[in-house]
Amino acid sequence: MASTLDSDRAGERLRNRFRRLIDRMRALLSLPATLDIRLSQVQAELGQRMDQARTELKAELSAQLGFSLHDFEAVLAEQKQHLTTEQRAQVDAVLGALRILEGAQSLQADLLSDLRSRLDGMKMGQIETVLNDLASQIKNLQNSQFEMTNRLMHLDTSLHTRLNTLENERLASVSEDIHQLTALHFELHSSMRERSTVEVSDSKRRKERADPQPFERILEQAKNDFPRIFPLWVERLEEMQRAFLETKVGNAAHAGDSASRVFRSFVELNAIGRLLDVGCGIFGVPYYLASYPEKLVSGIDPLQPTAAMEFEFVRGLSEYLPWPDESFSTVVSATSLDHCLSLERSLTEIRRVLRPGGRFLLWIASIAGAPRYQPDREDFVPADRFHLFHFDVSWFQPLLEGTFSVAERVELHRKDYSHVIYSLIKI
């Protein structure tokens, strides 16, 4: 009897274990579906949080921009009030001076009339006394005029000082704040962009490498093609090489410059596929391409690099790009196109190596009133020791629009010039 009970209990335990094993297997079989549900929930929660974070960042950016613009308007209103007060004071002073001069003229006429009436019946001694008195009054009048002139000069100096403070300090500070906000705005949009759009599944374009000539041969060709302007260009190339060796800051884009930050985010937002940097510099990967895949980057520059470059680099000129037609989806040029020999030839070459619909991301400095670059003119004079010419968008943008369509334009105003950034599409 005991043996039967033990056998039943053992069978029950075995059945229980079997049932538990079946339950575990069912649980394991249902685990993928459970994980899919949980993963969907987590993705939904992350999406909600990302949307909320984007909304909060946009609201914060809008608020900061609104505060800055409000402060800017307040500063302008305050300066306008100060200037109005100074102008009124100056006008009052001038009117007072005029009244004094009118009074002096009237006094002079009265003195002359009185002098004539006295001289009619006076003797010589009396005449000398009157003349001495008249000389004393004229001297006092001259002193009053001198004091009034000094007062007017002081008011004029004070007004110009206030105007210079407004132009050089207050407006410059507010302008830089706006530039920083613009950089932050572009960085925000760039950080939200899907980086997968950088890659382009076109293996043929990736394999098309440059076939450059020796740099000395390129210089010889440029000398033959542009005999008049070439010696002036070589002088400025040597000046640029010396300047770059002295300091990088001021001669290349870097993180501390708000315009450089704007252009970096602008490139991150617009660049796709294989990219050519015309005027990439000599310090390795430029700041504005630091986040771009190096395997997709090619660069060209006439200066000798300071170290080995991490991407395909060619020492050459923008007038003679050594890549086949339609090799690139994007071409970039950052404050370097104003160092070229021929602007028309460079733009033609850039368009040639771009694929149809490709983007040309261009950053220039525009100086109002800069003359159009015409190196063949008999009276041509280089712009400065580094540049043959400077850009002015009034003549340069129509030249661009003959070759590209302007998809986007950003302008950052400075005191004496403007940073202008273009997204251009090959047409």
DSSP string, 227-288: TTTHHHHHHHHHHHHHHHHH-SBTTB--TT-HHHHHHHHHHHHH--SSEEEET--SSSS-GG
Judgement on whether residues 263 and 351 belong to the same structural domain of the protein: yes
- Locate 395 and state its tokens: 């003549």
**Domain-embedded: residue 137:** yes
∠20-22-28 over CA atoms, to 5°? 105
Judgement on whether residues 202 and 139 belong to the same structural domain of the protein: no
pLDDT score of 321: 97
**Domain-embedded: residue 24:** no
How does strand 418-426 pair with strand 404-413? antiparallel
Judgement on whether residues 245 and 289 belong to the same structural domain of the protein: yes
Domain that holds residue 177: 69-181
Judgement on whether residues 163 and 265 belong to the same structural domain of the protein: no
pLDDT score of 45: 74
**Domain-embedded: residue 50:** no
Judgement on whether residues 272 and 421 belong to the same structural domain of the protein: yes
CB distance 343 to 313 below 8 Å: no
pLDDT score of 319: 97
Look at residues 157, 181, 205 and tell me which one is the last residue of a structural domain. 181
Judgement on whether residues 235 and 137 belong to the same structural domain of the protein: no
**Domain-embedded: residue 20:** no
52, containing H or E segment: helix 2-120
CA 310 to chain centre: 26
Look at residues 129, 146, 181 and tell me which one is the last residue of a structural domain. 181
Judgement on whether residues 167 and 211 belong to the same structural domain of the protein: no
**Domain-embedded: residue 341:** yes
- As averages over each run of 10 residues, the pLDDT of the chain (427 residues) reads 68 78 72 66 69 66 61 62 60 60 61 61 61 70 69 61 52 50 51 49 60 95 96 94 74 72 91 96 91 95 90 96 97 96 96 96 96 94 95 95 92 88 94
**Domain-embedded: residue 112:** yes
CB distance 225 to 301 below 8 Å: no
pLDDT score of 201: 46
Picking from 365, 407, 397, 400, the residue whose alpha carbon sits closest to that of residue 266 is: 407
pTM here is: 0.59
Cβ atoms within 10 Å of 378's Cβ, excluding its own? 5
Judgement on whether residues 112 and 201 belong to the same structural domain of the protein: no
**Domain-embedded: residue 13:** no
Judgement on whether residues 316 and 388 belong to the same structural domain of the protein: yes
pLDDT score of 395: 96
CB distance 104 to 141 below 8 Å: yes
Domains held by the chain: number: 2
**Domain-embedded: residue 47:** no
Look at residues 142, 160, 181 and tell me which one is the last residue of a structural domain. 181
